[in-house]
Amino acid sequence: MTWMAVAVTTFAVSTVAQFSQTRAAGAIAQGEAEVQAKAEELAATQREGDRKARLAEALASQNALAGSGGIAAFEGSPLTILKQDIKTEEKATERDKFQSQLGVMTTLARGQIARTQANTGANIGLIRQAGKAAGAAALAED
């Protein structure tokens, strides 16, 4: 094998390796974004559960307070307070769901963009290296 053939083979192997590594980095970035988005969804579910638990505690507390004052459960003022607490928690839940969905969509989009950029960079690098190889081969023929 001549030195030129060895150089071209080495050049081709290193170019393909770089191309593969760049594409793999993009896939990893997208995978990390998907995991991060899933974590955000789970955190939103946890926050919703926490809000429901606080609401149940408030209901029990108000019911006990009303009962100790001789007021039947879910009548008058305690009922009004409970309704307001429910409305407040529902609004907080809706707001949190929206913000979580927005965060998930943003994170997934960032991951996809990172992958696309990595793939584009890998393709451009491959084209550049192919151009250099073609130029070197043309010079070698002269």
Count Cα neighbours of 125 within 13 Å in the Cβ-side half-sphere: 18
Cα separation of 20 and 10, whole Å?
15
Cα separation of 117 and 33, whole Å?
14
Q: What is the pLDDT along the chain (142 residues), one digit of tens a residue?
A: 576 666 667 777 777 778 888 888 888 888 888 888 888 888 888 888 888 888 788 777 777 766 666 655 555 566 677 777 778 888 888 888 888 888 888 888 888 888 888 888 888 888 888 787 777 767 766 6
Cα separation of 17 and 126, whole Å?
10
* 71: DSSP letter: P
Coil, helix or strand at residue 90: helix
Who's near 130: CB < 8 A, 6+ residues apart?
Answer: 15
Identify the residue whose tokens are 């789970």. 42
What's the pTM?
0.57
